[in-house]
Structure 1
């Protein structure tokens, strides 16, 4: 099977306008129950595309996959058109797309799709690569070929070959990483339970309001999830932020303020030592976060990211990452923070994760960059 060069052969015909012909509600409430599902779109609405959807749909609930819609050409009534490069990126962002499926056929060991031009394939690949979205070629065979990954086994076989796959991690690495997440988070929740109780009591005694605070943050593919923390600020702190924006010290997107008046007395201590983040071990145990990965950002910030910065959502958010061991709040340019996250994605490995994990402890103990 050839790689991207296959698409650059002149075996495709023109199809230059892409749009979503079937949509699900992207509102926050509808996305929360589907956090662990993979949102997928299929390129085209021809026989190949519809056959792939038909063959896979019965099995997708078990595989936790959700069909969002077709990306296709033409002018069908009642459907919003996406006719530009920026609009294609908007689809991928707004619908939290995890994977793009490109249906086709196999002839003489060469993958072809006569309805999609090489120019349009390049458009899809460039948008997907920029944001770290997987692109897969899918085709149907009546019998099982040897030495190819079987995506589903029925009367007809659907084969799935990854054209782009981020972030350079295989299934074994993902399995090991998830196993470590479960073991470490479970151990932390048990061993640190006396500390949890102490902080719980201190927060309740020293300030009005609950001990725990939750906020919706962007998870894998930017899908919202409920992230937990010990409360370190006064009640209604989120509403007070608008009045403090003039004092914002973060250049670009985001918000940072030294000596933030919303922080409580006990809040200063638990933020400096990162104890306020410990409840996120529950998020890790639930599979919403991981030990090492880009820190989750608030939902409004996601919509303001530059396209390449969405690549940070190609993996689960983490409890610690490069930003945590590089000065944290000393980094006052938002784009610098995002660049560190993209660097992590591009250079991911289990040894790199271990290195960042080990460096987290001296960073916490020293309080360097904590606010």
Structure 2
């Protein structure tokens, strides 16, 4: 079920002294924080300490790998006019009793996880709580004693011969620390999905429909590259958002199930569109075109064709607003407000009541 081996050295992300820097602005580059810490502590970056940025919460954690009085450092940091000018603050990070385990095989029983991390052979101890995170292929394991992490973090771990990664987790910030090497999570490869030429053209010619698709995919951290219009075999490219490459915490949470969620959401969006190809022979279609072009009377059908599925295709030519119909279906924006084209023409022909009815629908249905 599991195996472990000794690492060469203890993970500095747990064994060393930690200081949390908060309120870091997005425009504050890493070099500024490094120089600030060096000048105040009189220590050297990458030798005496390293800094792990957590942009999701506008913070960073300093891991000191040398002897230092953290209380004295925090006091000097807080009174430093350079730090005050950047608006950043410093405080100690609590001792952790929780680890985040990433790469857990799907459907791993919670009992197996508890038994594994209570095993002395695996460097574990008495487990207080386990929180399963199936969407992230991860778990949070909390021990009764913080000293357990000192042993646990020196081991390599695996479930069902599949290696897993263990990182110290800090409840006060809701994040774990990955250390200098970062998480073992790779950025997902882009996906290329064939798409109907007709659907591509239909969406691309309507900016609102295109934005709806792009926003829905962006909500699950996916960027869309649309194919060139007119390409005979169009393929749409779905890529992981580049902006997440430096957000290690979000990357580790999203990446394991990103591909499945992207496929499911894109399929849902495309299911709203359907292409029906009718087998109309060129002479028949040409006859329809000629009859439509030559007839001036809107009230009478110019041509009627029965398709193979039994449906009747009837063509008319003229002013749509003057046509006698039970229902007229046209495209519209989400506010049902006519801004041009057929929608504006219909409102002008029908009068203000049509627009007021549309406004009532928006008030009731949203």
Q: Tell me which interval the TM-score lies in, with the shorter structure as reference length.
A: under 0.3
Flag the structure with larger Rg. Answer: 2
TM-score normalised per structure 1: 0.26
Relative to its length, the structure with more helix (as a share) is: 1
> What is the TM-score with the length of structure 2 in the denominator?
0.27
Larger RCO (CA within 8 A; separation ≥ 6) = 1
